Amino acid sequence: MALSNVVETPASGFNFENVSRNVALEGLLEGGHTKAPKPMKTGTTIAGVVCKDGVVLGADTRATSGEVVADKMCAKIHYISPNMYCCGAGTAADTEKTTDLLSSNLTIFSMNSGRNPRVVMAVNILQDMLFRYRGQIGASLILGGVDCTGNHLYTVGPYGSIDNVPYLAMGSGDLAALGILEDRFKPNMELEEAKQLVRDAIHSGIMSDLGSGNNIDICVITKQGVDYIRPYQESEYKDKRQRRYKYRPGTTSILTEKIVPLELEVVQETVQRMDTA
């Protein structure tokens, strides 16, 4: 039905095959005395704001795995299309793959139809996918973009609910960020004011939430193009390495050395000219 979808949508109505599959899998794992692996989460603060000239998205850059910071410079603002970006909170792999899938589908669609994709289409695809998986895909997404119908900001929840709002925050630090946004958001803000507001909202999330931290990324989407500023602001708590952790060549002594030459002969050689006119 859509001009093309790499992932085949089921015929009609709802398809709950995966629910029974998941239950069976869990039964198998528990029965065999092995635990299902716990997913890595991005305890996160992400926020978005619609302003007069476009949409401003922001995110922190910390990815946690339990109590350890697994990645200090993780990219949470994912590319969807030249005019759309998506921030993701929740399970790191889920947000990464879902946005990748969406991006591929939209690229194929715009090639087939000759039209630029609209934000509302991306949101519908996300909603269909997440609803079909009954909340098993732990991705809370903020999708923002500019298209021929205007500047849009949407939230998509893990169960597949969507909402269209002028300002948003998601992730474990969302309540802190939302406080800043509720206080200072005004409709039709100037771009610089909007960037400052998003920066302050993420900063508030970083300060008040353990799962968020390190640097702040900002992505500004306007009709003219995208400005992905990474990092927009570096953490005030950057640590300085105490010593050099590089080893001189020769630190580990070589005991024996054996060289085996690979015998290769050229069987066939063809030259194909490319027309690079």
Residues tagged active-site: 44
For 88, half-sphere exposure in the C-beta direction (CA atoms, 13 angstrom radius) is 29
157 lines the binding site for other proteins (CB under 8 A): yes
- Evaluate whether 190 touches 159 at the Cβ level (below 8 Å): no
- Evaluate whether 55 touches 48 at the Cβ level (below 8 Å): yes
| Residues recorded for the chain | 277
Contacting residue, 30, 163, 183, 234, with other proteins by CB under 8 A: 163
247 lines the binding site for other proteins (CB under 8 A): no
Binding positions for other proteins, 125-154, rule CB under 8 A: 127-128, 130-131, 134-135, 138, 140
- Evaluate whether 80 touches 143 at the Cβ level (below 8 Å): yes
Question: Token digits for 270?
Answer: 């063809």
Of the candidate spans 84-92, 146-154, 212-220, 229-237, the one that interacts with other proteins by CB under 8 A turns out to be: 84-92
77-81 vs 84-91, strand pairing mode: antiparallel
The Cα-based distances of 203 to 63, 209, 225 in angstroms read 16, 10, 25
91 lines the binding site for other proteins (CB under 8 A): yes
Give whichever of 126 and 194 is closer to other proteins, judged by the CB atom: 126
Tell me the per-residue interface mask from 14 to 53 with other proteins, x by CB under 8 A, - otherwise.
Answer: x-x--x----------------------------------
Q: Taking the complex as a whole, how short is the minimal distance between the CB of residue 159 and other proteins, in angstroms?
A: 3
Give whichever of 138 and 145 is closer to other proteins, judged by the CB atom: 138
Contacting residue, 48, 144, 158, 213, with other proteins by CB under 8 A: 158
Per DSSP, what are the bridge partners of residue 168?
48
d(CA 106, CA 7): 12
d(CA 84, CA 223): 11
Give whichever of 83 and 204 is closer to other proteins, judged by the CB atom: 204
**Where along the sequence are the contacts to other proteins (CB under 8 A)?**
12-14, 16, 19, 89-91, 124, 127-128, 130-131, 134-135, 138, 140, 157-163, 165, 171-172
